[in-house]
Amino acid sequence: MQEDIMGDLFEWFQERSLIHSQRRVWWAYLWHSLSLWRLFKIPTPSFTLHYLSMLRHYFKIAFRNLIGGTRNYTLINLGGLAFGLATSLLILAYIQYETGFDEFHEDRDRIYKVQTLFRTENGMERIGVSSSIVSPLFQREFPEVVNGVRLLNVSGFSPPVIRIGEDQFQEDAFYYADSTFFHIFSFPLLQGDPSTVLSDPSSLVINETLARKYFPEGNAIGQTVELGSRTRTISGVMADMPAQSQLQINVLGSFASLRAAKSESWFPANYHSYLLLNPGADIAGLRRKIPPLLDRELGEILQEDQEMNIALMPLTDVHLLSDARSEISATTNIRYLYIFGAIAVLVLLIACINYINLATARAIDRAREVGLRKVVGARQGEVFSQFMGEATFITILATLLGLGIVFVMLPMLGEITGRDLSLEQMMNPEFLLAAVGIMVAVIFLAGGYPALVLANLTPIKVLRGTFRNSKGGTWLRNGLVVFQFGVSTFLIVGTLVIYQQLQHVQKVRLGYEKEHLVSLPMDRTIINKLETIKSELTQHPQIVSASAASESPVRVRGGYTITNPALGPKEYNVQAVAVDKDFVQTIGLEIIAGNNYTATTVDEENVPFLLNETALKTIGLTIDDIGAKLDLNGRKGYLHGVIKDFHFSSLHEPIGPLTLFIESQYNELLVRLAAGPVPEALDALEDTWAAVAPHRPFTYTFLDDSYQQLYDTEQQAGSLLTAFSIVAIAIACLGLLGLAAFTAVRRSKEIGIRKVLGATEWQMVSMLSGDFTKWVGLAILISLPLSWYLMNDWLSQFAYRINVGWEILLGASLISLLIAWGTVGFQAYRTASLSPSLTLRDE
Amino acid sequence: MKESKLGEFEELVLLTVAALYDEAYGLALQQGLSERLNRQVSLGALHAALRRMEQKGFVQSRMGEQTAKRGGKRKRYFRMTLYGFRALQKVRATRQSLWDDIPPLALEF
């Protein structure tokens, strides 16, 4: 502090002290001292002022650059980035949805699904169901298992009908469950006591929606309904099960009401069992204890070459990782999630690459600006920040745009995947964090390289003009074009292959006529009146024939074992369907040896079996062995006829052995409608139904629709892949457009001179296109073998498949080339048509 | 070059500097102003004004001799410059002309 001011202060203090009290003087002293801050208030042209005005300048330049003369480039960059970001975010949303299944259960870390493994000719097979004895047995034998619940899906066989007064409701999501259900799973029970709500055999728990549907005016609790021939009481109302749950149940019946509840058995294994372990249980140790237990219990029951094992899968793994057949609900193959994740990264990469390409290309133009800046004193850091800042600005804008696109596209994605994707779902912290993370990554990746390049320019090189044709830059640019088009070509190939395979699946001859075939659910009452119903139905001209079976031929799951006593005790696994005598005609199968069924009733001591060719081969018989003795799970009979092989399962699997036998455990009524207008036939069907089966609501399914469902996953994959291909191509095109425009502009002088010397526009266009064609050609060359290999791998999951033919590869290549030519050509033509007087004007 | 402006407070300080002629140093100015204005003038405000005026060229300063008083710290004396005087005159003239413009009617309350 200045000497004189200190002196003044001192003198003042002295004089004041003489007049006033110490305290007052000190306070005033404080005031005077503090007032001296004013001395530092004097503004001088300093650091802060400099930065402020520079910032304003940078903004102006950035704005001018982006909006002004280079508006097209900016738009291209913006569009590409926005698309890339939108795609990644959509895929992120989907992945997040799929991985979030079953997370709402409180005890999810302790709940395990029981899966059964058993040996077949194809090795060990895994199914998602288990025996009724597993849950109680494990609870008794293993201290780690503290609770368990068994679920039986009866809707799968014959959907139950609930009658309330005059109304009938067919329930397709009806399960029987042990009374421990609500103690293991965290499904909120709106009304009713979780401990007792399923104890009584006549109790029934329905969900909210059904409660409102059945009892619109009042309370559901305590009301009675008719289930088949029995009466049930509503004992509880539960909240609707969330979409992200592997359990999708509308009605719960008490397990105690089932006949099966009275005894524990190993066969049949029809139940979905879940076990609850105690906290901190040693799951590995538990798994080791299972085989000895199974040996003890099953030792005598199983034959020599038969093997059975029990696996425990954590609840939260089931939706994505379970490859078991007959899981409780449709699983999502986690492989697809990985693939989509990879695609998201690829697409984002392509978009960033575009930005880098374009930015570095234009950097050459701005090199002079940068050089000048450096000459007048801009430091490296400043230049770097300037371009990073521009990149940040564009990226943020692109992110906002991308979010807008996501907003619009999300419902469509939900439709394609069949999942309930909503915006609320997306508004969770992990997703937003990831989105921000992606944005930051893009800023660094896309903005970093050009900014670095420009910041490290030496003014001399720039102003002399030698920066224009740097080798390194050209390498990178062309390499990036190759990468982009390589990826696009691969995606096109993938899409084409998937669609061709789907076509194939539709067109392939199944061995029976699946069109015009309708299936209706059956129950005891209908079975008893079967012949009457069939004759009533066939009286209508629109109905050709009717038959009953335990399963629809679209997907036969029933597993049995068959032996040929003459050849030995060896048991063979086969699929088998209980049918009636009209099955073969109604479905349209071909008998190649022996006879079809003729009689309605059969001799139960000597059941006639129809085997397909594969079954015959498996057992070791030939078509000359008609009459050979056979035993199917205890049913003794003989070979009555041989059917030509037909597909009774999805084309993922080869045709297996199949046995048909007559027994009245039917679940489906199969009706063949006459060719021609379908609505009339359905009306006739409905009329007959109302007359013969008034106790059931009229519901039907077309077999070709059921067949389609077998390939839902592939349909989805196809649609998604198409979408991705379009996006990837769009982005690649944008990149190429920008690059082509830029190159064309750069060479505009050269073009001008050539034109003056006599070249035509078209020659110019092909010259410019030729360069790019080289690179696209390279991209195609690299990606074709890769695509071929990868798609063949995907196709290997189908037992019946197309080959990745050269037509597909050629087609994809042509598409890529055409798109590239179109893009480049358009730009090239525009530049080539410029009159040389314009381009050669300033030199 | 634009002429530097004379703020209101600065005007008062400058007048006091002129009034005290050769004895115009920090404390004396502060006491004189505080008495005349009937309010406490802070040392900070005063010295800030003095510094500004010195930059603008209205006053010039010189350092005094050392004395035992004031803890050995020298005093800084301020003197008005011709430029400062001109500025004062200008302000005074402006004010006077405004006063002259007032019609007698406006002064009847």
- Per-residue three-class SS string for A343-411: HHHHHHHHHHHHHHHHHHHHHHHHHHHHHHHHHCCCCHHHHHHHHHHHHHHHHHHHHHHHHHHHHHHHH
Please tell me the distance in Å from B64's CA to the nearest CA on chain A: 9
For residues A726-758, b (16+ Cβ closer than 10 Å) or e, as one string? ebbbbbbbbbbbbbbbbbbbbbbeebbebbeee
- The contacts of residue A231 (CB under 8 Å, 6+ apart) are A202, A224, A225
CB contact under 8 A, A10 and B30: no
CA of A37: which chain B residue's CA is closest?
B44
The C-alpha atoms of residue A555 and residue A572 are separated, in whole angstroms, by 20
What pLDDT shows up at residue A591? Answer: 86
For A19-110, where are the E strands, in sequence order? none
Which residue, A311, A291, A289, is CA-closest to A126? A311
Q: Collect all residues of chain B within an 8 Å Cβ-Cβ radius of residue A35.
A: 42-45
**Residue A622 zone, left/alpha/beta (φ > 0; ψ -120 to 50; rest):** beta
For A193-298, where are the E strands, in sequence order? 203-207, 224-227, 230-238, 251-254, 272-277
Half-sphere exposure of A27 (CA within 13 A, CB side): 4
Q: Collect all residues of chain B within an 8 Å Cβ-Cβ radius of residue A37.
A: 44
Half-sphere exposure of A679 (CA within 13 A, CB side): 0
CB contact under 8 A, A41 and B74: no
Q: Pick the residue of A9, A38, A40, A44 with the most B CBs within 10 A to test the interface with B by mutation.
A: A38
Placement of tokens 């994605």 in the chain: A413
Neighbours of A302 (CB within 10 A): 16
Phi, psi for A106 (deg, rounded to 5): -60, -45
Of A7, A28, A36, the CB nearest to B70: A7
CA of B77: which chain A residue's CA is closest?
A4
Contact A111, A315 (CB under 8 A): yes
Q: Collect all residues of chain B within an 8 Å Cβ-Cβ radius of residue A45.
A: none
Q: For residue range A167-214, what is the model confidence (pLDDT) as tens digits?
A: 888 888 899 999 999 999 999 999 889 888 989 999 999 999 999 888
Mean pLDDT of B85-108: 90
CB contact under 8 A, A35 and B44: yes
**Residue B33 pLDDT grade (very low, low, confident, very high; cuts 50, 70, 90):** very high
**What DSSP string runs through B12-56?**
HHHHHHHHHGGG-BHHHHHHHHHHHHTSPPPHHHHHHHHHHHHHH
Give Cα separations from A292 to A130, A134, A264, A298, A677 (angstroms). Answer: 18, 14, 19, 10, 61
**Residue B11 pLDDT grade (very low, low, confident, very high; cuts 50, 70, 90):** very high
What pLDDT shows up at residue A467? Answer: 47
What pLDDT shows up at residue A41? Answer: 62
The C-alpha atoms of residue A454 and residue A374 are separated, in whole angstroms, by 11
The C-alpha atoms of residue A320 and residue A246 are separated, in whole angstroms, by 10
Q: Which two tokens stand for residue A219?
A: 């309370």
The C-alpha atoms of residue A668 and residue A579 are separated, in whole angstroms, by 10
What pLDDT shows up at residue A444? Answer: 84
Contact A230, A178 (CB under 8 A): no
The C-alpha atoms of residue A194 and residue A422 are separated, in whole angstroms, by 31
CB contact under 8 A, B73 and A7: yes
Phi, psi for A235 (deg, rounded to 5): -105, -10
**C-alpha B78: how far from chain center:** 10
Tell me whether strands A230-238 and A189-191 are parallel, antiparallel or unpaired: antiparallel
Of B27, B48, B51, the CB nearest to A11: B27
Please tell me the distance in Å from A361's CA to the nearest CA on chain B: 49
In three-state secondary structure terms, A544 is: strand
Contact A186, A316 (CB under 8 A): no
Q: Collect all residues of chain A within an 8 Å Cβ-Cβ radius of residue B51.
A: 39, 42
CB contact under 8 A, A39 and B48: yes
pTM over 0.90: no
Placement of tokens 């104890």 in the chain: A199
**What DSSP string runs through A608-651?**
EEEEEHHHHHHHT--GGGTT-EEEETTEEEEEEEEEPP---S-T
- The contacts of residue A293 (CB under 8 Å, 6+ apart) are A137, A141
Residues of A with CB under 8 A from a CB of B: 2-12, 28, 31-32, 34-39, 41-42
The C-alpha atoms of residue A500 and residue A482 are separated, in whole angstroms, by 27
- The contacts of residue B96 (CB under 8 Å, 6+ apart) are none
Measured torsion, CA atoms of residues A22, A26, A27, A33, in degrees rounded to the nearest 10: 160
Residue segments in chain A with a per-residue pLDDT below the cut of 50: 1, 46, 466-467
The C-alpha atoms of residue A117 and residue A142 are separated, in whole angstroms, by 20
Which residue, A487, A338, A395, is CA-closest to A812? A487
Q: Collect all residues of chain A within an 8 Å Cβ-Cβ radius of residue B35.
A: none
Please tell me the distance in Å from A16's CA to the nearest CA on chain B: 11
The C-alpha atoms of residue A548 and residue A546 are separated, in whole angstroms, by 7
The C-alpha atoms of residue A151 and residue A177 are separated, in whole angstroms, by 5
CB contact under 8 A, B43 and A37: no
CB contact under 8 A, B44 and A28: no
What pLDDT shows up at residue B92? Answer: 92
Which residue, A708, A326, A296, A271, is CA-closest to A503? A708
The C-alpha atoms of residue A222 and residue A838 are separated, in whole angstroms, by 90
Contact A661, A608 (CB under 8 A): yes
Burial class (CB in 10 A: 0-12, 13-18, 19+), A531: exposed
In three-state secondary structure terms, A236 is: strand
Contact A77, A446 (CB under 8 A): no
Neighbours of A408 (CB within 10 A): 9
In three-state secondary structure terms, A29 is: helix
Residue type, A115: Q
Q: Which two tokens stand for residue B70?
A: 């004031």
CB contact under 8 A, B74 and A31: no
Share of chain B above pLDDT 70, in %: 96
CB contact under 8 A, A31 and B63: no
Residue type, B9: F
**C-alpha A789: how far from chain center:** 23
CB contact under 8 A, A38 and B52: no
**C-alpha A105: how far from chain center:** 22
Of B44, B52, B69, the CB nearest to A11: B69
- The contacts of residue A387 (CB under 8 Å, 6+ apart) are A359, A447, A450, A451, A454, A455
Contact A623, A593 (CB under 8 A): yes
What pLDDT shows up at residue B1? Answer: 42
CB contact under 8 A, A32 and B43: yes
Neighbours of A561 (CB within 10 A): 16
What pLDDT shows up at residue A556? Answer: 80
Which residue, B23, B2, B4, B22, is CA-closest to B86? B4
Which residue, A780, A773, A783, is CA-closest to A736? A773
Of A6, A31, A34, the CB nearest to B73: A6
Give Cα separations from A93 to A74, A89, A434, A653, B43 (angstroms). Answer: 28, 6, 10, 32, 66
What pLDDT shows up at residue B13? Answer: 93
Please tell me the distance in Å from B25's CA to the nearest CA on chain A: 8
Contact A116, A127 (CB under 8 A): yes
**Residue A329 zone, left/alpha/beta (φ > 0; ψ -120 to 50; rest):** beta
Higher-confidence residue: A325 or B100? B100
CA of B27: which chain A residue's CA is closest?
A8
ipTM of this model?
A: 0.77
Of A5, A11, A35, the CB nearest to B45: A35
The C-alpha atoms of residue A345 and residue A87 are separated, in whole angstroms, by 9
